[in-house]
Structure 1
Amino acid sequence: MVGFPLLLIPLAVYNIIVFLMPGASFTDPLIKLPLMSGAEWQVTLSDVLLAVAALLLLLEVIKGARPGAKYLTDHLLSLIVFGAAAAEFVLWPKFATSTYFLLTLLALVDFLSGIALRTRRRALAAPTVSAATASQPARKVEPEPAREPHVDPAPAAPAASPAPAAASVAEQVLQDHAEPRASIASAELPAGGQPPAGTPQR
């Protein structure tokens, strides 16, 4: 939300009195206030405008001190108000008075105070951000464990057939040798089953 430049109010009142009320005087007393000292204080229109402008300047400073209250547009408006007041003071004879000069000076103070507050806020925010960053513990980057090379297991060797026992091999050999002898002996016998005479017995 763009803030309205409050210093524009007394400057606008001064312009209204100059252009629309040419017979009005800024130095004529409006009211007279008796003081405890016995003196009489004569309040003029210039005094009223300056007092109102001082109070409005205080409100502008309070608005600018709030976090995020003053934006760039607000500073630009304050600068425009000061530039217009300074141009009227220099170029128009009716504005060449001490009262209008003080109003213009207050407009300048409004613009400069807004810039100073914004700069101060940035200067305070920068160390806060850096301190918050420094307070965070540094994250340790753990090295990734080295991966072991993947080795395919060797194919299992086919199960060897159990070797035949030595006793069974010996029996097989003896049987192979015994069968031819028996067949030979049966072939040598005659039909009656008795060996011929003179044949040696085995």
Structure 2
Amino acid sequence: MSMVGFPLLLIPLAIYNIIVFLMPSVSLADPVLKLTLMSGTEWPVTLSDMLLALGIVLLLFEIIKGARPGAKFLTDHLLSLIIFGAAAAEFVLWPRFGTSTYFLLALLAMADFLSGITLRARRGMAPAVSGRAARVPMEAPEPQFEPVPKPSAPVAAPAPAPAPVEPIQPKVTPADAASAAPSPVVASPELQPGNGAPSAPDTPPR
């Protein structure tokens, strides 16, 4: 894998230089082909239009390539700056490069350089992601739930104290009460006073 990416905007600029230096008889303003649109209008496509369209498409590829993490290094931005500086110098110094077509190509080279610097600065502020994690999309973190503690073995509740047992009172009916009443004590007639029974001598005989 190459450590330095090839600047794609060099392709349309190199084609323009080849036409100017090696094919001076070729005109960039002459139509190369004519396309008939659905409206019926003929659109003459010139070599300048083709170079500009190629430059725009390659700029799009450069931006996509630079948006990937770790895709461009500092050397790539330096090459883009050199290409833009050389295109600007040719536009200002050489008469055959002073055209609107070459100016727009140089402007595309400047856009490539500035977009690469901007993407690198934004990538520097974001946390670095490398390796396989850079290709795997970030997923929303799943909510974490605390584990529910398992119920412990049930503890037997202490047995309630037995209630005091009250003595059972027998149910007494009126008939039972009458039968259970004590009978009157009848004194012996011998022991009644006035019966003439001699009382026992108080003093013993001599």
5 Å-filtered alignment, 1:160-171, equals none
Counterpart in 2 of 1:64? 66
One-letter identity of the residue aligned with 2:15:
V
CA distance in 1, matches of 2:113, 2:127: 22
Task: State the SS of the aligned residue for 2:127.
Answer: helix
> Partner residue of 2:17?
15
Cα distance per residue 1:76-128 (max 9 Å; x no partner): 000000000000000000000000000000000000000000011112228xx
Cα RMSD between the aligned structures? 0.8
In structure 2, the gaps of 5 or more residues are 129-206
Q: CA deviation at 1:20?
A: 0.6
SS of the counterpart of 2:124? Answer: helix
Q: Which has the higher helix share?
A: 1
| Structure 1 runs, 4 residues or longer, greater than 6 Å off | none
Structure 2: distance between partners of 1:116 and 1:41 = 37
Residue number in structure 2 paired with 1:45: 47
**Structure 2 letter corresponding to 1:54:** I
**Correspondence for 1:77:** 79
1:41-190 to 2 correspondence within 5 Å? 41-125=43-127
TM-score of the superposition, structure 1-length normalised?
Answer: 0.61
> Structure 1 stretches of 5 or more lacking a match?
127-202
Q: Which residue of 2 aligns with 1:35?
A: 37
Q: Distance in 2 between matches of 1:15 and 1:62?
A: 26
Aligned partners of 2:60 and 2:38: how far apart in 1?
Answer: 28
Q: Give me the whole-angstrom Cα distance separating, in 2, the residues matched to 1:122 and 1:22.
A: 46
Percent of aligned positions with the same letter in both sequences? 76
Q: C-alpha distance in 2, partners of 1:91/1:82? A: 14
